[in-house]
Structure 1
């Protein structure tokens, strides 16, 4: 069960767990047969203390960007068994991740209101058209790609010329440093 917020793809959230000593366990590996491939999982519910698995005692929010929630919430494995893992209350970690995302969003470069409105209107209109007029949507996608190809490289050159530090760029874009560097590089070399 992952949590996502539109526009922040590198910030996938999920329930993280802690062991009794306060450490975060590594992945659990599953042998699914005689192959050399082992499935691994970090889903919170695999840390139930079953044979050869660690037992988590608490949970917290965690994000793919490396953020970990400060608040911990006790894990009651008897309640997990009674309610089922899909019905078990993980709202505490999710609320903490939502607060993390609010903080990430607050530090991004805000789009001007008219640009936000245009993008929202365009998305809504394309959503209305896609089922009945997929050719129109594909034509619009091509025009959008042309706009991006015109302006993305210009913006990337300005950013590179200003030598904006990677941590600041990542924060402004609401992404990780790796994803920010990749986006900048993509646009710097888009038309070459």
Structure 2
């Protein structure tokens, strides 16, 4: 079970990763979850229980799809089980470490001007109230916002492309991977 933020999505999907006794990170495990040809792939801590020729994880840590790995290691006690008989691990430490990583990603991204951030919060509050009290008016406002966002987004994406920045630079500014940044700009340019 992974962690995501709305802002950074799959560019920074977090999870509890496994660490072997020698300090290395094991290769992904493939799990047969049905009769189909698809094999699920995971690197989550619980898959490394030493069964079915899989390595046994000694510790866990926060990890992120961007490649970040937490420095803090958390021991795994394979004898601990929850009420359903599944292995139990307090994941709050790895999750807190990942949350700190996300805070660092946010701090490296382009900041929004405080006036714009405040305006967005106020707009969200007003639209939430409108959706509860006058849902048709809320839908009309959302349609107007979509048109506005589409137009301004296309203008901004064209300007960014004209600046000829690298995808890595654009990604870092948005808190995304280079691949996700390229995808976002393409999506914004095609939005009507």
Instruction: Report if TM-score (shorter chain) is over 0.5.
Output: yes
Structure 1: any 5+ residue segments left out of the alignment? Answer: none
1:4 is matched with which residue? 4
CA distance in 1, matches of 2:33, 2:176: 35
Shift of 1:52: 2.8
Instruction: Give the alignment's TM-score, normalised by structure 2.
Output: 0.85
2:138 is matched with which residue? 137
CA distance in 1, matches of 2:55, 2:64: 21
Shift of 1:32: 4.2
CA distance in 1, matches of 2:133, 2:88: 38
Q: How does 1:8-157 map to 2 (within 5 A)?
A: 8-9=8-9, 10-79=11-80, 81=81, 88-157=89-158
CA distance in 2, matches of 1:19, 1:87: 18
Shift of 1:146: 0.8
Structure 2 vs 1, CA of residues 163 and 40 (structure 1 numbering), >3 Å: closer, same or farther?
closer
Shift of 1:131: 4.5
> Is this contact kept in 2: 1:2–1:13, CA < 8 A?
yes
Structure 2: any 5+ residue segments left out of the alignment? Answer: none
- RMSD value, Cα: 2.4
Q: What secondary structure does 1:51 align onto? A: coil
Shift of 1:53: 2.4
TM-superposition CA deviations, 1:33-75 (whole Å, max 9, x none): 5443333433321211123322111111111222111222221
Instruction: Give the alignment's TM-score, normalised by structure 1.
Output: 0.85
> Is this contact kept in 2: 1:45–1:85, CA < 8 A?
no
Which deviates further from its counterpart, 30-39 or 177-186? 30-39
> Is this contact kept in 2: 1:166–1:177, CA < 8 A?
yes
**Aligned residues between the structures:** 190
Structure 2 vs 1, CA of residues 14 and 33 (structure 1 numbering), >3 Å: closer, same or farther?
closer
Q: What secondary structure does 1:119 align onto? A: helix
Shift of 1:89: 1.5
> Is this contact kept in 2: 1:62–1:68, CA < 8 A?
yes
